[in-house]
Amino acid sequence: QNWNEQLLDNLITDLGDASSASFLAAFQKIFERKEIEYLNIAKWHQFLTVFHPRDEWGLNRYQYQKIMDILDQAKNYLLEMEAKIESKRRHKMEVFTERLIEIGHSLTAISSFNELTDVLAQEIPKLGIPSYYLSLYDQRENSYEWSRLILACNLNERIPIDLKNGGVKFRSRELIPEGYFTDQQVWNQIVEPIFFREHQLGFAIFETGPKEAVVYAMLRTQLSSALWGVIFFEKQKKTEAALAWKAQELARSNSELERFAYVASHDLQEPLRKITLFGESLAKTAKAKLNEKERDYLERMINAAGRMQRLIIDLLTFSRVTTKARPFTMVDLNEVGKEVVSDLEVKIRNTNADIEIGELPSIEAEPVQMRQLFQNLIGNSLKFHRPNIPPRIRVYGRITPEQQCELTFEDNGIGIDPSNYQKIFGLFERLHGMGEYEGSGVGLAICHKIVERHRGEIKIDSQVGVGTKFIICLPVHQTDLSA
């Protein structure tokens, strides 16, 4: 309203004095008082229409033309100002863009929250933002109710925050924790949500510096990517640390197994061999002198030593599935089947067994362990047959569309109750007494460990009194041939 009255007075003065140019001078002075880059030129063009000559003013031709000339000069001045404003804005955005690019480059090289906050504390003030706060939603709480402040700067002064415990915990609705912002401080703030794709990470608060909203939007985008990268990297470090710890534990476990294998091979078997040797010598030389009870004791002692020796050998085999593992190579399972049947020839003849091995595929595996697998499963079928019924054993395989080798070992033996399916793969698990069937209870545990090492699975389909199927699925190609 004041400008209207002042400019109207100037216009009247110019109409009465041909040499006067007070309207244009006053008009230009208005612009000198305002921040040029934030002027709305379109509104000023509209403002000039107020001074357009009207019929009720009763102007003569000279006065009418004089006003039109003055308004044309004012419009030309506005066009010049518009060009200057555009140039200033463009230059300012170029400066902001360069600084944001620098911030982006700095953020790409960070890998921790300490590095992130240091970069932001150094770079954000260059954008003309005097106060800013960065908070993450508390991942430990697994909700958005609580946040942790990780960076705070008030009036260009950074406030120290200990990040070892994850920052300063506070309720998210407070935006800034108590003590990090003075009530006397009056400022306009911009709250920007920080997220990456569908992941809500936290929020940033900026004191209004640049009036260009795009600056805060670009800064938010950079913060989002950088924070997600740091969070991902931190998780990866924890995962790697956990894997390293597990690797150490595995190495320690394998080392203990190696020591056990050495002790079992030498220190444990040596006295057992002597017990067996002396017992058998005693049986040959003094058996006739012993009474029936003493002969029974001697026989039980020799049998117990033999069982203990077999148990130690089985335990060694079990431990060596991983500690003495060899690299995977292509294995023709047909050859494995033939070799195992040849090795079991005596048992096959003694039990009058009928064994049929179908066409089997070749897979990437460890040859020795495949042979152990076939020998244990076929050997079990020969052992656990029904009385007076010769074992009938079929081994066949196929390649599934998922590139899995499915092997089936099928027999007509005594069968397994479904309640014992998982139990039989445990170490030393026996479903029958020593008097019924020989063995240490380690054979199927070895099978399970071999299949597990080959990244496969073993399943059972059995019916008591009818027979059993062991179905084994192994990858045709291993992803790591040195596993």
Task: Summarize pLDDT for 359-409 with one digit per residue, the tens.
Answer: 999 999 988 889 889 988 999 899 888 888 999 999 999 999 988 999 999
Can you give the pLDDT at residue 205? 87
Can you give the pLDDT at residue 265? 61
Can you give the pLDDT at residue 483? 46
What's the average model confidence in pLDDT over 410-425? 84
Q: What is the mean pLDDT of the chain?
A: 81
Can you give the pLDDT at residue 437? 56
What's the average model confidence in pLDDT over 296-320? 72
Distance, first Cα to last Cα, the chain? 86
Residue 47: closest CA among 66, 31, 65: 31
The CATH number assigned to the domain with range 110-211 reads 3.30.450
Calpha distance 264→443 (Å, rounded): 18
Q: Is 204 helix (H, G, I), strand (E, B) or coil?
A: strand
pLDDT band at 479 (very low <50, low <70, confident <90, very high): confident
* β partners of residue 202: 136, 194
Radius of gyration of the chain (CA): 45
Domain with CATH 3.30.450 in the chain: 110-211
Model confidence over 445-454: pLDDT tens digits?
Answer: 888 988 988 8
pLDDT band at 14 (very low <50, low <70, confident <90, very high): confident
Domain with CATH 3.30.565.10 in the chain: 325-483
If phi > 0 it is left, if psi is from -120 to 50 it is alpha, else beta; for residue 17 that is: beta
Calpha distance 3→30 (Å, rounded): 8
Please tell me the CATH superfamily of domain 325-483, with its number: Histidine kinase-like ATPase, C-terminal domain (3.30.565.10)
pLDDT band at 264 (very low <50, low <70, confident <90, very high): low
pLDDT higher than threshold 60 for residue 422:
yes
Choose which CATH entry (1.10.20, 1.10.287, 1.10.10, 1.10.3470) describes domain 234-324.
1.10.287
Between 326 and 457, whose confidence is greater? 457
Spatial neighbors of 53 by CB under 8 A, at least 6 apart, are: 59, 63, 64, 67, 68
pLDDT band at 48 (very low <50, low <70, confident <90, very high): confident
What's the average model confidence in pLDDT over 292-315? 75
User: What predicted TM-score, i.e. pTM, was given to this entire model?
Assistant: 0.46
Structure-block tokens of residue 184: 């006397």
Calpha distance 356→181 (Å, rounded): 83
pLDDT higher than threshold 60 for residue 430:
no
- Contacts of 458-462 with C-beta under 8 Å, sequence gap 24+, read 458/425, 460/416, 460/421, 460/424, 462/415, 462/416, 462/417, 462/418, 462/421
